[in-house]
Amino acid sequence: MEERSGTSGVRYGLGQLVRFGVAQARACAFAVALLAGIGASRLLPPLPVARYDLVLVYGVLLTLAARRMGWETRRDTAVIAACHLLGLLFELVKVRLGSWSYPEDALTKVAGVPLYGGFMYAAVASYICRARRLMRLRYTRYRAAATTVVAAAVYLNFFTHHWIPDLRWPLALAMTVATAGTWVGFSVGAHRYRMPLAVSFVLIGFFLWVAENAATYAGAWSYPQQLGGWQPVPLTKFAAWSLLISVTFVLAEHLSARGPDRRAPRPEPGRRPPPVSDSFKTG
């Protein structure tokens, strides 16, 4: 009997892992479609239109399609647009300082940055917005003010470290303190789980680093060491993404804190929604 129970438990755990993976894949739909389009653009024959310009058109059409198909709500679109603009500002400064580059020509390049560059950050925002609804995310003991202040400092440090000492590791410690005791609850099937918010930043940062390797391989942009041929993105970028994701998270939370989009989606007909005991709290 115990053996059957153990086997059943393993089977159930594997099933939950598959459900979690499917939910994550659905949340990443926009990002995967964007990256696939960028990769496919490298396979096109020579055209009279620059590749970066084509990717911009593709990104705009993808955004419209995502809205049309219900991947995003109106409020999600506002969050994604704000992240797109913040991302473009980030790109303009970092490209000017030589952190990375877009070596191909295009009509839609401004100060060396193609306008599609903001879609990289929009894709991260899309993931956060989609994951919130698909997995019914709720946060307990979330200290909005403290987390926002540290996230703003993180964003500024990515600029200022070119002129003053890099505060990345002190800021990582500050973010750990600001989010200490903050849990993110999420649904997988009918069950609720939770993890520390800081751990979720690290996990997302790792997968963003993996995605960045794929993006640079597809020619989305190039780091200086990749101009002579593709090389893996350094692991230091993993730490950078784990911090930078906090900026997108805070922005999404502030813009989505009120209004109907924060409510849980309606359950499917004939199914009871999973219980949600951990409510959104700020302190």
**Tens-digit pLDDT profile for residues 199-254:** 999 999 998 999 889 888 888 888 888 888 888 888 888 988 999 899 989 988 88
- The residue that leads in pLDDT, 96 or 6, is 96
Distance CA 222, CA 258 (A): 39
Instruction: Reply yes or no on whether the pLDDT at 3 is more than 70.
Output: no
Q: What is the pLDDT of residues 153-197, one digit of tens each?
A: 999 998 898 899 999 999 999 999 999 999 999 998 888 999 999
Please report the pLDDT score of residue 221 as a whole number: 82
Is there a domain that residue 11 lies in? no
Strand-pair partners of 141: none
Q: What is the pLDDT of residues 229-238, one digit of tens each?
A: 888 888 888 9
Instruction: Reply yes or no on whether the pLDDT at 259 is more than 70.
Output: no
Is there a domain that residue 225 lies in? yes
Is there a domain that residue 204 lies in? yes
Range of the domain at 135: 18-262
Instruction: Reply yes or no on whether the pLDDT at 258 is more than 70.
Output: no
Beta strand spans in 4-103 (E): none
Proportion of the chain above pLDDT 90, given as a percent:
29
Distance CA 64, CA 46 (A): 27
Distance CA 18, CA 86 (A): 34
Is there a domain that residue 12 lies in? no
Strand-pair partners of 282: 142
Question: What is the average pLDDT across 98-116?
Answer: 89
pLDDT band at 280 (very low <50, low <70, confident <90, very high): very low
Is there a domain that residue 254 lies in? yes
Proportion of the chain above pLDDT 70, given as a percent:
88
Please report the pLDDT score of residue 281 as a whole number: 37
Is there a domain that residue 9 lies in? no
- How many domains does the chain fold into? 1
Instruction: Reply yes or no on whether the pLDDT at 2 is more than 70.
Output: no
Please report the pLDDT score of residue 145 as a whole number: 92
Is there a domain that residue 238 lies in? yes
Burial 103-139 (b: 16+ CB within 10 A, else e): eeebebbeeebbbbbbbbbbbbbbbbbbbbbbbbbbb
Is there a domain that residue 276 lies in? no
Strand-pair partners of 138: 185
Write down the pTM of the prediction: 0.81
